[in-house]
Structure formats: structure tokens, C-alpha cells
Amino acid sequence: MAASVGSRGRVKMTPRDWKDLRRGLLFISPWIVGLLAFTVFPLIYSVIISFTAYSGFTSPKWYGVQNYTRLFSDPIVGTSAMNTFWYALFAVPIGLVIALLLAVAMNRRVREVSLYRTILYLPSLIPAFAFSFIFVVLLNPGYGIVNKMITGLGFSARDYLSDPVGVKGVIIGMAQFAAGNAALIFLAGLNNVPDTLYDAAKVDGANAVTRFVRITLPLLSPVILFNAINAVNGALQVFTPGYILPATPGGPNNGSLFYMLNLYENAFSYAQLGYASALAVVLFIVGIILALAIFRLSRRYVHYGIEV
């Protein structure tokens, strides 16, 4: 028996409805416990201790808003924020373009397409820390294959990981090897574009570029929005390359000191968990603001259906 609606619009639950609800809650209880224990509680606790002086070894002492006032006047925070901003500014759009091109290549109707899809996706399966060590070897100025190729072309070898600008470029380039994840999502979106639209466009004389711009991109706009939000979220949390690639974490000259790396060092190297929590709260707020801004801008460019 389905639940009935009362005269005041309230839903009246029958005994069977309550029983079904209890069963449903029982089935999803592991997820609920995990959400409360590993997401909600840490989030609330981080906000609370962000107002304290807390090392992790002694009891927290109320500190007021001093962690936040220190945060906005700390030049290291400004440096790490700018490094993260520049990384996101280049890595996100380049990654989206590469992922879309990979998806188009994966969508080609050829006999070996399954093999090509596997090869194009494989680099994204390599863990970030392993990829970072691989790049340390490849870019070594003495025996790295990259510098050997450069010297073979008549240019002098260069230690990219010892240059504040070069190390950021390496990290941005390294991030593109993980484009396979976004490419799979783009591929799913491409498979949902009706072939009849392309056939009609061909009849009207539209070439491949016109079909891509006028049909593919508008119908892929929800997928682009989804991948863009994921990419921005990932860019704000970039950590591993800045920790492993340079000789010292965040080096050289703070060139790879990203916001999350600065947060990590304050929490676990300097035992300033209260200050690190304030950094985390600010990052959380910035992430929400950016997501809302992207959603707002998307209203003009994202199409969720085919208008007839």
C-alpha cells in the first residue's frame, strides 16, 4: 500500500512504509556511518580546531580568529596560493582539451579501437607518486632520457626540477598523463550524441569542424561542466608532484609549494594542526565558491537537451 497524502499535504506513512524505510536505512547504514565518521565529523572537527592552538600532542587551547588573521598575512600562504592558481590556470583547460581529443580518438570506428582505448587510458592508472619518480629519472640532467634527446639535437642539458618556473611546467605536463579518466567520461558523452544529427548536418553540407562545433560541443557541454568541476577540484588539491619531484618538498625556492603541500607541512612537519585546519577551511570555502561560479557561468553555455 502506497503512502497517502493528507488534507494538509502531509504524507501519511503506513506501517508497511515505515517497515520499508527501516529496511532501506539498514541497507545503506554502512554508507551513512562512513559519511558521518569520515566526512561530516572531520569537517566539523576541523572547523572547531581551526579556532584553537593545537599541536596534536596537547589539549587544544582557544585561539579565536588568530589562525585566520595569520593566514591572510602569511607570505608563504600567498606563494602557495599563487602556485596553485597558476597550476589550475594551465593544467585544467589543457587537460580538458587533451581529454576531449583522446575521447574523439577513442570514438573512431576502427577494428583495433579496443586496443587503442586501452593504450590511451593506461597512463592514468599509474599512481601519482610512481609517475613523479618516473619523471625524476626521465628529467635527470646527467642520465635522463629527456636531456639526452635535447643534447642530441644540439641543445644544452637543463635541470628543469631546479628551476622554479620549469618545475611548475613539468608538473603541469605530468598532469596531462592522467587525462584518460576524463576522456572515458567524454567518450560516454560522445556515444550519446545521435548519429542522425551528424547525418542531417552532412546533408546540409557541414564539414567535420562545423559538425564538431555546432553539434558535438553543445551536446557535450554537461559532460564538459562535470569534468571541469572535477579538474578544478583536483587542481586545488595538487600535492604529490610538489612533494616528490624537486630535491626538497616545495622547492626550488618555493616554486612547487602548492597550497595542499603548505597545509600538510604545517600540520605534520610543524605540528600546527589548528593553523592547518584554518588553511583547510579556507580551501573548502574557495572550492565551493569556484564550483558555484562555474555553475552560474554554465547557465548560458550548458545544454541539457536537444531543442527541436
Residues forming a β-bridge with 12: 4
Query: Could you read off the pLDDT of 91-126 as tens digits, one per residue?
Result: 999 999 999 999 988 888 777 788 888 888 888 888
Is residue 1 over pLDDT 50? no
Provide the strand spans (E) within the chain.
Answer: 4-5, 11-12, 52-53, 61-62
Mean pLDDT of 44-58: 93
**So what's the pLDDT on residue 61?**
93
**So what's the pLDDT on residue 4?**
52
| Amino acid at residue number 241 | P
Query: Could you read off the pLDDT of 249-267 as tens digits, one per residue?
Result: 898 999 999 999 999 999 9
Question: Quick one: pLDDT band at residue 308, thresholds 50, 70, 90?
Answer: very low
Question: Quick one: pLDDT band at residue 3, thresholds 50, 70, 90?
Answer: low
Question: Quick one: pLDDT band at residue 204, thresholds 50, 70, 90?
Answer: confident
Residue 166: other Cβ atoms inside 10 A: 16
Helix (H, G, I), strand (E, B) or coil at 191: helix
Distances (CA, A) of 88 to 81, 92, 232: 10, 5, 7
Query: Could you read off the pLDDT of 209-229 as tens digits, one per residue?
Result: 898 888 888 899 999 999 999
**So what's the pLDDT on residue 107?**
86
Q: Is the dihedral of CA 175, 176, 181, 182 positive or negative?
A: positive
**So what's the pLDDT on residue 301?**
83
Helix-helix angle 128-138:164-175, to 10 degrees: 130
> Which value, to the nearest 10 degrees, does the dihedral of the CA atoms of residues 203, 208, 213, 216 take?
80
Query: Could you read off the pLDDT of 239-251 as tens digits, one per residue?
Result: 999 999 998 889 8
Q: How far apart are CA 112 and CA 191, in angstroms?
A: 17
**So what's the pLDDT on residue 74?**
94
**So what's the pLDDT on residue 14?**
87
What residues contact 265, with CB distance under 8 A and at least 6 apart? 249, 250
Question: Quick one: pLDDT band at residue 198, thresholds 50, 70, 90?
Answer: confident
Percent of the chain with pLDDT over 70: 95
The domains of the chain, with CATH numbers, are 16-48 (no CATH), 74-298 (1.10.3720.10)
Is residue 39 over pLDDT 50? yes
